[in-house]
């Protein structure tokens, strides 16, 4: 079964069946602009044509296994057509309405403000970011990442990458309706920061990005698409040579080779940090783009005084923006703790003293295991429960 939003498959089908080419534009408008996920709801097409297309095409073949909502995020647990599982997260960025700024500021000082208090009355929805998966689970095996503990199952084809966004836009329209200017609310920013290492699914990732930037499809700005990679150097060079013009974020997490091998063993053992930084220099000189460095803050591991200065010296002459990300703790990784907030601020100040721009990321969804490095938590815990039940059954049978 083909996907109706697959431009080439649709074009070939229309030609083979002598259906007017303008129907493709109607279909693309319905799916990409209006958020329709059911062929029968494309009412610009005749009933006969809808029935005909339904024999050979589908728009959505995801099964929603679980949807969990939080004021600042929504997480979807999807079952793919082949039975495999992925997770996708929406993040809502809101601005406090001017008339409520003083009240909320005072409540935060008094620690009476919670995320549960977010409402359309006090906050205006500014933009929506989607964190999409590029693989079913992940082979990189970063020691702090739940997804890495699951192992690798498969690369997602471009259609399953795109369908995460299409599904999200359909959901957003139902949840938020239209904006004040009369246009539909929809995903504005796409980040390849979900399950998987996108550079290890390079061809499908790049093709999906073409759809994201295409005016006939999702029509997203290149500045609103970010690829986050753990540092697959040869694929970064290919990205440059192929002129894939989007934002790039490097999950650096360590300023020296020894620590990087401990944290990201698979990638670090293939390419040492010197070679990686040479590749990054090639990226910035070739594109003129500033690189975003993701840096995890793990207590007593990545936040020591010695490392503060190592990171500053590594990046001081590079066009760098560092995002310090407090480690998102979860029971699946019991031996790792997030850095103390005061330590994070000291770290920030020291790195900035080397002339590097640094921000501390406000992580959305960390308390409910939806943030960076937490995806797959439910799968891990389910496996543990099943293992415990199997052990208990074995003990009972021996009695």
The one catalytic residue in 142, 160, 372, 378 is: 372
Q: Which residues pair with 96 in a beta bridge?
A: 123
The CA distance from 93 to 128, in Å, is: 6
Which position has the token pair 């005084």?
A: 305
CA distances from 394 to 313, 387, 397 (A): 56, 11, 5
Residues 167/79, Cβ–Cβ less than 8 Å = no
Which position has the token pair 């995020």?
A: 73
Q: Which of 155, 298, 296, 165 is nearest to 225 (CA)?
A: 165
Residues 103/119, Cβ–Cβ less than 8 Å = no
The one catalytic residue in 72, 87, 197, 204 is: 87
Residues 265/253, Cβ–Cβ less than 8 Å = no
Which phi and psi (to 5°) does residue 20 adopt? -50, 140
> Catalytic residue at 87?
yes
Burial class (CB within 10 angstroms; exposed 0-12, middle 13-18, buried 19+) of 50: middle
Could you list the active site residues?
A: 87, 372
């Amino acid at each position: 079964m083909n996907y109706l939003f697959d431009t080439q498959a649709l074009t070939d089908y229309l030609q083979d069946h002598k259906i007017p080419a303008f129907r493709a534009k109607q279909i693309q408008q319905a799916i990409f602009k209006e958020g329709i996920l059911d062929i029968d709801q494309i009412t610009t097409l005749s009933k006969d044509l809808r029935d005909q297309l339904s024999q050979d095409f589908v728009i959505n073949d995801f099964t929603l296994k679980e949807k969990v909502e939080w004021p600042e995020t929504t997480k979807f647990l999807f079952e793919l057509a082949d039975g495999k599982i992925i997770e996708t997260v929406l993040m809502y960025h809101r601005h406090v309405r001017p008339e409520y700024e003083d009240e909320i500021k005072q409540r935060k000082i008094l620690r009476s403000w919670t995320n549960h208090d977010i409402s359309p009355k006090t906050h205006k929805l500014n933009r929506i970011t989607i964190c999409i998966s590029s693989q079913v689970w992940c082979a990189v095996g970063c020691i702090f990442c739940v997804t890495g503990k699951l192992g690798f199952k498969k690369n997602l084809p471009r259609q399953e990458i795109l369908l995460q966004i299409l599904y999200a836009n359909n959901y957003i329209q139902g949840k938020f309706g239209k904006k004040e200017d009369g246009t539909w609310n929809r995903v504005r920013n796409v980040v390849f920061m979900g399950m998987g290492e996108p550079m290890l699914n390079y061809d499908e990732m790049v093709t999906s990005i073409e759809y994201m930037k295409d005016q006939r499809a999702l029509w997203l700005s290149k500045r609103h698409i970010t690829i986050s990679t753990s540092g697959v150097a040869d694929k970064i060079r290919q990205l440059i040579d192929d002129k894939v013009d989007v934002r790039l974020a490097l999950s650096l997490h360590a300023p020296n080779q020894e620590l990087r091998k401990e944290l990201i063993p698979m990638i670090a053992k293939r390419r040492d940090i010197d070679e990686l930084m040479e590749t990054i220099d090639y990226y910035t000189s070739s594109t003129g783009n500033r690189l975003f460095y993701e840096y995890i803050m793990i207590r007593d591991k990545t936040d020591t005084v010695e490392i503060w200065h190592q990171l500053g010296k590594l990046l001081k002459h590079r066009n760098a923006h560092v995002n310090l990300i407090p480690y998102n703790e979860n029971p699946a990784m019991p031996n790792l703790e997030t850095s103390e907030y005061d330590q994070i601020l000291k770290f920030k100040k020291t790195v900035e003293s080397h002339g590097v721009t640094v921000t501390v990321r406000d992580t959305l969804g960390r308390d409910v295991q939806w943030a960076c490095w937490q995806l797959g938590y439910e799968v891990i815990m389910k496996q543990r429960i099943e293992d415990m039940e199997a052990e208990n059954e074995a003990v009972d049978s021996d009695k």
